[in-house]
């Protein structure tokens, strides 16, 4: 069992014993009792609020409970000291041997140290990217891709059965426009001089598509009516765009399990809506006019509506357009119905900030379809402001000259892109400055973490170079200063669970920065005091112990980076 759950169990046992002996009244609710490391480390290694939480229901004074609990816990060999403090906290100081043992646990666990079983038995579908297949990925898509992918890895690491999924929006008007744009490029490939009208996709990436179409169809469709070529052109162009997108994803190290086509839904849209209809959640009605600027061309019209307002949405939502075809929402309802039928116990969608208004209706639909049994968590990912020497770069897909994901990855590397995308909470805006992200300094967390790992890798090499004959590590040689570093590394399993529970992968990046800082601090002590160095030519025994410490830190850094999808560097240039 991991260190923190183990001590939580000790506290629970002690409370149980006090209940059994009649010192505490029976039937108390222990669910609000926490056992956590206190923010201020001078308060010890662990603190529990048990006495304060239980005081009122037990009809006792907090300190009275705390003292009894302290007496019980102080008897345990792992606990060096149990002290009542403040309004009724019980602070625990662990025996140093606990931390030495944890070093062994890190070594033994290796890449699995920190893996959790919290998700065992749960299967989660994480849908991310889902960029329209109308061109290569640009930086607007990048953050959602990285955060979604890291979240999927994180949940996997926390024991969930994870499916990584991409929804291909290949059924709407935009892909028709794409097909028409490709038709122009097709004619161009056959020698015509073309003019790309406003509203079409002007990007050069359609030039090879036009050539491929020319090769396949010859000139037979140049002046044919649109009805003859629209469907095949759309199909082929979308397929080629998805190839581009998959290449882009591969550059980021992303490989998704399922690519789900909107167009493939077909009659299943009707089936999904029948399910809602059977629940009495669909009706023909007229919506009230929305307030504000969007109301100008409003006209009351009877529509097919879903009773989203019964499930927390602000209003009911249209399922059919005025021309009788399904709305995008109707398709998405069917898509999520499909996910539910696949049996996931939880769904996660990553949305761009501009789709924030869509959250409630989607959750309403899933709530209705699953009878509230399957939660849909929608994570909003804010925009990335791309900066180049302080100057913001615009990115618009329509303009044709957007900054592509591929350009950025080629310039700064996959690992830098992925790490930076996780250095902020995903729902707050992020600046990505080309100069800053590759800077080799303290304030660049990518560098700082990688540098720590590289130092750790080099420390072993240095010991060899120094010709030190290393014995088997004797961890009892490590003192409190050394063990302070273990305490940070030992947080890793907790961080994994917290990040997975809140579904916030950025916590991993922040933690790694903390761990790196703790390591660098330790390292820097060697400057003032040579006895604190990791490699000591005249003390092979201590060197071996310190190297074991360093390697444990390196292991945790690697595990964290692996969850983030970032490769750990063993040297920097």
Subset of residues 423 to 462 that bind RNA, contact rule: CB under 7 A: 424-425, 427-431, 440-443, 451, 454, 462
Q: Which two tokens stand for residue 510?
A: 């922040």
Residues 198-217 that bind RNA (CB under 7 A): none
Extended beta strands in 26-172, E state: 35-36, 46-48, 79-85, 89-94, 123-127, 161-168
Stretch of 147-155, 165-173, 216-224, 552-560 contacting RNA, by CB under 7 A:
165-173
Q: Kindly identify the residues of this chain, within the stretch 249-308, that bind RNA according to CB under 7 A.
A: 262, 287, 290-295, 297-299, 301, 303
The CA angle 24-28-30, to the nearest 5 degrees, is 110
Residue 568 is given by DSSP the state P
Examine residue 36 and tell whether it contacts RNA (CB under 7 A).
Answer: yes
Contact region for RNA (CB under 7 A) — 64-72, 243-251, 407-415, 517-525? 517-525
Cβ atoms of 245 and 133 closer than 8 Å: yes
- Considering only the C-alpha atoms of the chain, give the largest distance between any 2 of them, rounded to a whole number of Å: 94
Q: Does 402 bind RNA (CB under 7 A)?
A: no
Q: How far is the CB of 214 from RNA (least distance, A)?
A: 27
Smallest gap from residue 465 Cβ to RNA (A): 9
Element (H, E) at 349: strand 346-352
The Cα angle at residue 469 between residues 464 and 472, in degrees rounded to 5: 110
What is the token pair recorded at 143?
Answer: 């953050």
| 380: contact with RNA by CB under 7 A | yes
309 CB neighbour count, 10 Å cutoff: 15
User: Taking CB under 7 A as the rule, does residue 526 contact RNA?
Assistant: yes
Q: Does 396 bind RNA (CB under 7 A)?
A: no
Smallest gap, in angstroms, from Cβ of residue 188 to RNA? 25
Identify the CA nearest to 134 among candidates 94, 180, 165, 95: 180
Q: Would you count residue 34 as binding RNA (CB under 7 A)?
A: yes
Instruction: Assign 407 to helix, strand or coil.
Output: helix
Q: Which stretch binds RNA (CB under 7 A): 70-78, 82-90, 119-127, 393-401?
A: 82-90
Q: Pick the binder of RNA from 49, 116, 163, 363 (CB under 7 A).
A: 49
Should residue 520 be labelled a site residue for RNA when binding is judged by CB under 7 A?
A: yes
The yes or no reply on residue 7 touching RNA (CB under 7 A) is: no
Tokens for 211? 């050539």
Q: Write down the least CB distance from residue 336 to RNA, Å.
A: 13
Q: Which of 111, 197, 285, 356 binds RNA (CB under 7 A)?
A: 356
Closer to RNA at the Cβ: 161 or 514? Answer: 514
Q: Is 524 in the site for RNA (CB under 7 A)?
A: yes
What is the C-alpha radius of gyration for the chain, rounded to an integer number of angstroms?
A: 29
**Contact status: 358 vs RNA (CB under 7 A):** yes
By CB under 7 A, the residues from 495 to 514 that bind RNA are 498, 501-502, 504, 506-507, 510
Binding of RNA by 31 (CB under 7 A)? no
* Residue selected from 17, 359, 406, 484 as contacting RNA according to rule CB under 7 A: 359
Q: How far is the CB of 314 from RNA (least distance, A)?
A: 5
CA 19/CA 28 separation, integer angstroms: 9
User: Cα torsion at 207, 211, 217, 223 (round to 10°)?
Assistant: 50
Helices (H), 317-432: 328-341, 359-369, 405-412, 414-421
- Least Å distance, CB 521 to RNA, is 5
By beta-carbon proximity to RNA, the closer residue of 40 and 480 is 40
CA distance 533 to 466: 13
Alpha helices (H) along 218-316: 226-251, 268-278
How many angstroms separate the CA atoms of 135 and 89, rounded? 58
Q: Which of 63, 138, 336, 360 binds RNA (CB under 7 A)?
A: 360
Q: Which 8-state DSSP code applies to residue 290? A: P
**What span, in angstroms and rounded, lies between the C-alpha atoms of 397 and 383?**
14
Q: Which of 247, 314, 393, 411 binds RNA (CB under 7 A)?
A: 314
Q: How far is the CB of 189 from RNA (least distance, A)?
A: 26
Residue from 327, 363, 404, 551 that binds RNA (CB under 7 A)?
327
What tokens appear for 170 in the block?
């290949």
What is the spatial distance between Cα 137 and Cα 235, in angstroms, rounded to a whole number?
19
Q: Does 172 bind RNA (CB under 7 A)?
A: yes
Residue 534 interacting with RNA (CB under 7 A): yes
Report the residue from 180, 414, 533, 558 that binds RNA according to the rule CB under 7 A.
533
Q: How many residues bind RNA (CB under 7 A)?
A: 95
The burial of 491, by beta-carbon neighbours within 10 Å (0-12 exposed, 13-18 middle, 19 or more buried), is given as buried
> Which residue in the set 24, 403, 523, 544 belongs to the binding site for RNA (CB under 7 A)?
523
Q: Which helix (H) or strand (E) holds 282?
A: strand 282-286
90: β partners: 48, 84
Per CB under 7 A, the segment of 74-82, 85-93, 368-376, 407-415 that binds RNA is 85-93
The verdict on 220 binding RNA (CB under 7 A) reads no
Please name every residue paired with 82 in a beta bridge, in sequence order, or none if there are none. Answer: 92
Please identify, using beta-carbon distances, which residue of 187 and 336 lies nearer to RNA. Answer: 336
For the bound state, the minimum distance from the C-beta of residue 490 to RNA, rounded and expressed in Å, comes to: 12
Q: Least distance (Å) from RNA to the CB of residue 168?
A: 9
CB of 220 to RNA, least distance (A): 28
Residue ranges in 101-140 that form contacts with RNA under rule CB under 7 A:
132
Q: Does 328 bind RNA (CB under 7 A)?
A: yes
CB 240 within 8 A of CB 219: no
Give the strand pairing for 46-48 and 35-36. antiparallel
Residue 479 binds to RNA (criterion: CB under 7 A): no
CA distances from 315 to 18, 168, 307, 379, 492 (A): 54, 27, 8, 22, 44
């Amino acid at each position: 069992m991991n260190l923190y759950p183990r001590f939580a169990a000790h506290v629970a046992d002690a409370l149980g014993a006090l209940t059994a002996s009649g010192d505490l009244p029976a039937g108390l609710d222990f669910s609000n009792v926490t056992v956590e490391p206190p923010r201020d480390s001078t308060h010890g290694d662990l603190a529990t609020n048990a006495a304060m939480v239980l005081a009122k229901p037990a009809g006792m004074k907090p300190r009275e409970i705390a003292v009894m609990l302290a007496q019980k816990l102080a008897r345990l060999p792992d606990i060096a000291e149990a002290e009542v403090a403040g309004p009724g906290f019980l602070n625990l100081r662990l025996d140093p041997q606990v931390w030495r043992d944890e070093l062994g646990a890190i070594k033994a666990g290796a890449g699995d140290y920190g893996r959790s079983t919290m998700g065992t038995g749960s299967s989660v579908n994480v849908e991310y990217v889902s960029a329209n297949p109308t061109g290569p990925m640009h930086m607007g898509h990048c953050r959602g891709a990285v955060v979604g992918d890291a979240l999927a890895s994180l949940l996997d690491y926390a024991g969930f059965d994870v499916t990584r999924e991409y929804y291909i929006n290949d059924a709407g008007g935009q892909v028709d426009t794409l097909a028409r744009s490709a038709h122009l490029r097709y004619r161009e490939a056959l020698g015509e001089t073309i003019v790309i009208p406003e509203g079409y996709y002007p990007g050069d990436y359609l030039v090879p598509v036009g050539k491929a179409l020319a090769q396949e169809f010859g000139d037979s469709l140049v002046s044919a009516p649109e009805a003859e070529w629209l469907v095949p052109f759309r199909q082929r162009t979308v397929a080629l765009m998805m190839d581009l997108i998959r290449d882009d994803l591969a550059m980021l190290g992303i490989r998704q399990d399922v690519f789900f086509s909107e167009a493939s839904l077909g009659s299943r849209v009707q089936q999904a809506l029948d399910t809602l209809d059977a629940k009495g959640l669909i009706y023909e009605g007229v919506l009230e006019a929305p307030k504000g600027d969007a109301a100008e061309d409003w006209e009351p019209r009877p529509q097919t509506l879903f009773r989203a307002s019964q499930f927390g949405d602000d209003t009911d939502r249209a399922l059919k357009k005025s021309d009788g075809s399904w709305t995008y929402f109707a398709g998405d309802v069917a898509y999520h119905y499909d996910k539910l039928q696949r049996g996931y116990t939880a769904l996660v969608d990553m949305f761009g900030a501009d789709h924030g208004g869509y959250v409630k209706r989607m959750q309403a639909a899933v709530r209705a379809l699953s009878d509230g049994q399957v939660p849909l968590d929608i994570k909003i990912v804010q925009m990335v402001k791309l900066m180049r020497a302080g100057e913001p770069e615009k990115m618009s897909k329509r303009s044709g000259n957007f900054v592509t994901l591929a350009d950025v990855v080629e310039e700064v590397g996959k690992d830098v892109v992925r790490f930076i995308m996780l250095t902020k909470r995903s729902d707050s805006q992020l600046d990505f400055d080309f100069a800053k992200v590759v800077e080799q300094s303290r304030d660049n967390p990518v560098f700082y973490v990688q540098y720590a790992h590289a130092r750790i890798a080099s420390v072993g090499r240095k010991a060899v170079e120094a010709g030190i004959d290393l014995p088997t590590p004797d961890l009892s040689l490590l003192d409190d200063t050394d063990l302070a570093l273990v305490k940070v590394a030992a947080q890793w399993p907790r961080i994994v669970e917290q990040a997975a529970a809140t579904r916030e992968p950025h916590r991993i990046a922040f933690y790694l920065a903390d761990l790196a800082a703790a390591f660098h601090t330790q390292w820097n002590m060697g400057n003032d005091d040579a006895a604190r160095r990791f490699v000591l030519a005249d003390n092979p025994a201590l060197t071996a112990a310190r190297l074991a410490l360093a390697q444990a830190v390196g292991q945790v850094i690697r595990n964290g980076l692996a969850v983030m999808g970032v490769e750990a560097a063993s040297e920097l240039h």
